[in-house]
Structure formats: C-alpha cells, structure tokens
Chains A and B, each alone.
Chain A
C-alpha cells in the first residue's frame, strides 16, 4: 500500500465483485497477511459490496468507493456509496438451527460480515451517503 492506504472506485455491477476482491487480495498479499485472514476479509468485503450492488441504487448503476488502510496492526476497510440509506446492522441474524423447510434463502451476507471481521460500524450522512467501516486485527492477540 502506498503510505498506509489504498483505494478503488467501481461501478455497482456484480461483474466488479472479482475486481474488488482482487484489489483486497493484492493489497493484503503485499502485507504478507495470513491467508486465513485474507479469506475472511475477502468474504466480508464481498458480502458488503454485493449488498450495495443489489440494493443501494435501486437497479441503477452507482459508484462504490472502497478504501483499505493499515492502522497499527489493524486493517480498516471503508465502503461508501451514495445510494439509499441502509444500515446492515439492522438486519436480524439468520436462524442457523432451522431445518431445511424453515431455513430462509437469504440473510447470510450480513451475518458473515460480522463474523469475519472484528468490528463493523455504519454511518449515513446526506452529503457522504452510506459509509460502512470494517476492522480486522491482522495478527492474533498475544496470550498473557
């Protein structure tokens, strides 16, 4: 990463999901991050961006801006869009114990975001739009 931050801007199309994920992988590969952590970050970013692509712009094409920053030992990823306000934390978690018939088809994406990352926060402003911030510690906590 140049300095401690890199960024990408793409149109909100499903075909850009691999572009976004390659950006994340290239950035984290360059930092020699553990592959298990890269996988988790990829999945969280994928889910977040897929939600924006599918819902934020009501079928129209908009812009998604993603930044990736290293702060101390924490990776901080922000995903911004100017679509309709949507707080992913407002979605209830899926019922993981439900049997096949009761099991709902959707709802897992946000759950994965929260499971894969250490922290997920959300802001909205009329000027900036939606801003989702996800944090992940890159090395395990040292045991005392």
Chain B
C-alpha cells in the first residue's frame, strides 16, 4: 500500500487506501510505529481511500492507539467509508477511536483543550 503523509502544525496525517488486510497490515504497522514513536504524538489517519478493512487492520490500529495514548498522544480517524465504518461498529471500535467525517475536523480537534 502506498501511504502518503503530511504534517499540519503538530499533527501528522497519513492516508490509507485500497485494502487493509493481513497482507497490508505489516506495512501500515511500521508506518504507524514511526509516527507514534514521539511523546504526545498527534496522528490523523485519513481513511477516505480505504475500501476495506479486516481484523488485521483493526489490530494494527488498536495496537498503535494503545501505545500513543500511554504517551499522552492520540490517533484520530477521518473520512471512514460506510462499509469500513460498519466493521468498526461491529468490532466495538467506535467507542475507542475519535472519528470525524472531515480530515480538517480531525486535525482541528487536537487544538481543543
């Protein structure tokens, strides 16, 4: 998976696309580990281009979230497509991650106290 990234202020944003299955999960895990290594890392994962996610993808996101929250940072999700959102709902992940319809809203949420 090609995983572009950008920075807006102190927020790192990565873009996932296509399918996040067990095969793609390793690469995404490595990218997230890099982004989340710093203390108080603020990360937005833009899922607009993601058509599909399996439990392997959820596992990688959850592991990164646990790590980053221990260091007073956060991972927030933006632009989930309907089927992907459904997978998050079924897995009970909707209560674990902050989710936003727009990338801009996810980025701005880090500015709030």
Interface residues of A, Cβ cutoff 8 Å to B: 14-15, 17-18, 21, 36, 39, 42-43, 46-47, 50, 53-54, 94, 96-97, 99-101, 103, 105-106, 108-109, 111-112, 115
Contact = CB atoms under 8 A, between A and B. Distances in A.
A109 to B, nearest CB: 4
Contacts of A105: 59, 62-63, 66
B91 A46 contact: no
Contact of B58 (A15, A17, A100, A108): A108
Contacts of A97: 92
B67 to A, nearest CB: 11
12 contacts: A17-B21, A17-B23, A18-B19, A18-B21, A42-B52, A46-B21, A46-B54, A50-B54, A96-B91, A103-B62, A111-B91, A112-B55
B65 to A, nearest CB: 7
A136 to B, nearest CB: 16
B91 A15 contact: no
Interface of B: 19, 21-23, 52, 54-56, 58-59, 62-63, 65-66, 69, 83, 87, 90-92, 96
A31 B23 CA distance: 27
Contacts of B56: 50, 109
B2 to A, nearest CB: 15
Nearest to B87: A43
Contacts of A94: 91-92
Contacts of A42: 52
A142 B63 CA distance: 42
B21 A21 contact: yes
A50 B83 contact: no
B90 A54 contact: no
